[in-house]
């Protein structure tokens, strides 16, 4: 994300880069057939990526809340008077590249089905199924996902909409700026506590924003609290509240979200949010993270199917296939970012507030 001076937030780029690569590696380990064939070479490593690397999604959620608060309500009061227009812009930013990636995924799945039969390959889509994906309703309508990670795009929009709604509800009835800020932040806090103590503990809610809002709100509070002169006290209270939720029901995902929140708060308060790590490759991987996230599954399908047909279950060939898929995902993601995401996925923005990109999309 770019600051007022046009420089990117280096620490946010670092989180995005690392988390997006972990998710790619998680999918490479979780979905066959390459990981199944290569697993005997490093069973513990493949198992770790398959089981634990997915927790990196918590960095996306927390970073999304941080960036959302920074753009929507930097002091806790919603800037826009037209939240529906802002929500539509957000939808376009997400869905235009997502739709292009869906077309790619459908095409690559068709090619992969010609080379092998495997349960990781989605079936041919129906029109209603494809339309539900474009409306980001596929999980709520119980359609099979056409690509890995499609659920996250839908949840990202839901979280953005829920945050906007809560802040708008605080803005509507009150004229005093300070009262709006207290009510808005209070509503976000109340919804976050409901998520942490109830909704996030019930997997039946994992198709809705309420399940994930605790982590998303932590990111928002990382931004808001770092602006205060008594930030240390309030951050300690935030950590205590989340710690209580963990004592009530320990969840590794929430512990990771808290760690990312504290790191963001410290980086913002400490003045190194925009300057560390000072690495061009990391910044590049952060910029293209959403595109890599969208295209890596189609790449994986084609490489995995080609290897199954021409190399069989040879462990070393499939290990090289995993490395090739990882590299191609970054290369194709960079091209997709330049050709599709930058040109088609970013509509003209109003002067204020800016439409925040998600934790994976360009800021």
Q: How do the domains of the chain map onto residue ranges?
A: 10-344
The closest alpha carbon to 239, from 252, 228, 255, 223, belongs to 255
pTM over 0.85: yes
Angle between helix 177-197 and 209-226 (nearest 10): 140
DSSP states along 63-126: HHHHHHHHHH-TTSS---S-HHHHHHHHHHHHHHHHHHHHHHHHHHHHHHHHH---TTSPPPPP
Sort 286 into a burial class: Cβ within 10 Å, 0-12 / 13-18 / 19+: buried
- Return the structure tokens found at 91: 């939808």
Q: pLDDT tens per residue, the chain (363 residues)? A: 444 333 478 999 999 999 999 999 999 999 978 999 999 999 999 999 999 999 999 999 999 999 999 999 999 999 988 899 999 999 999 999 999 999 999 999 999 999 988 888 999 999 999 999 999 999 999 999 999 999 999 999 999 999 999 999 988 766 688 889 999 999 999 999 999 999 999 999 999 999 999 999 999 999 999 878 888 899 999 999 999 999 999 999 999 999 999 999 999 888 888 888 888 999 999 999 999 999 999 999 999 999 998 888 899 999 999 999 999 999 999 999 999 998 876 554 443 345 455 555 444
Sort 325 into a burial class: Cβ within 10 Å, 0-12 / 13-18 / 19+: buried
So what's the pLDDT on residue 343? 83
Question: What is the 3-state composition of the chain as percent helix, strand, coil, each rounded to the nearest 5?
Answer: 70, 0, 25
- Return the structure tokens found at 348: 């003209």
Angle between helix 177-197 and 231-248 (nearest 10): 30
User: Which residues have a Cβ under 8 Å from the Cβ of 289 and sit 6 or more positions away?
Assistant: 16, 17, 19, 20, 359, 360, 361
- Return the structure tokens found at 28: 């490479």
If residue 245 lies in a helix (H) or strand (E), which one and from where to where? helix 231-248
Q: Which residues of 204-236 are buried (b: 16+ CB within 10 A; e: fewer)?
A: eeebbbbbbbbbbbbbbbbbbbbeeeebeeebe
So what's the pLDDT on residue 227? 79
Interatomic CA distance for residues 293 and 59, integer angstroms? 14
DSSP bridge partners of 8: 2
Q: 3-class DSSP state for residue 2?
A: strand
Interatomic CA distance for residues 74 and 223, integer angstroms? 8
User: Which residues have a Cβ under 8 Å from the Cβ of 316 and sit 6 or more positions away?
Assistant: 38, 41
Sort 82 into a burial class: Cβ within 10 Å, 0-12 / 13-18 / 19+: exposed
Q: Is-contact 66 219, C-beta < 8 A?
A: yes
């Amino acid at each position: 994300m770019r600051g007022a001076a046009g420089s990117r937030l280096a620490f946010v780029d670092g989180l995005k880069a690392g988390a997006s690569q972990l998710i790619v590696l998680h999918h490479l380990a979780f979905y066959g057939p390459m990981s199944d064939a290569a697993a005997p070479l490093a069973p513990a490593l493949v198992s770790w990526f398959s089981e634990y690397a997915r927790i990196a999604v918590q960095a996306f959620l927390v970073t999304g809340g941080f960036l959302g608060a920074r753009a929507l309500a930097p002091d806790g009061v919603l800037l826009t008077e037209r939240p529906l227009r802002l929500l539509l812009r957000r939808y376009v930013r997400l869905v235009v590249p997502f739709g292009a990636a869906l077309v790619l995924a459908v095409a690559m799945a068709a090619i992969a089905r010609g080379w092998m039969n495997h349960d990781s390959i989605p079936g041919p889509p129906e029109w209603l199924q494809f339309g539900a994906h474009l409306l980001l309703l596929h999980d709520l309508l119980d359609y099979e996902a056409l690509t890995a990670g499609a659920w996250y795009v839908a949840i990202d929009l839901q979280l953005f909409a829920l945050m906007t709604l809560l802040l708008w509800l605080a803005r509507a009835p009150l004229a005093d700026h300070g009262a709006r800020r207290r009510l808005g932040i209070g509503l976000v806090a109340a919804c976050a506590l409901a998520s942490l103590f109830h909704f996030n503990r019930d997997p039946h809610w994992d198709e809705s924003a309420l399940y994930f809002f605790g982590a998303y709100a932590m990111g928002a509070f990382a931004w808001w609290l770092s602006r205060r002169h008594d930030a240390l006290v309030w951050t300690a209270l935030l950590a205590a509240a989340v710690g209580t939720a963990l004592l009530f029901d320990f969840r590794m995902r929430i512990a990771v979200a808290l760690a990312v929140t504290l790191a963001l708060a410290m980086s913002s308060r400490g003045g190194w949010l925009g300057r560390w790590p000072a690495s061009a490759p990391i910044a590049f991987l952060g910029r293209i993270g959403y595109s890599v996230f969208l295209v890596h599954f189609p790449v994986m399908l084609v490489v995995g199917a080609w290897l199954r047909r021409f190399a069989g279950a040879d462990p070393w060939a499939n290990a090289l296939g995993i490395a090739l898929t990882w590299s191609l995902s970054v290369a194709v993601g960079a091209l997709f970012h330049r050709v599709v995401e930058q040109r088609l996925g970013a509509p003209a923005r109003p002067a204020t507030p800016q439409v925040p990109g998600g934790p994976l999309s360009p800021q």
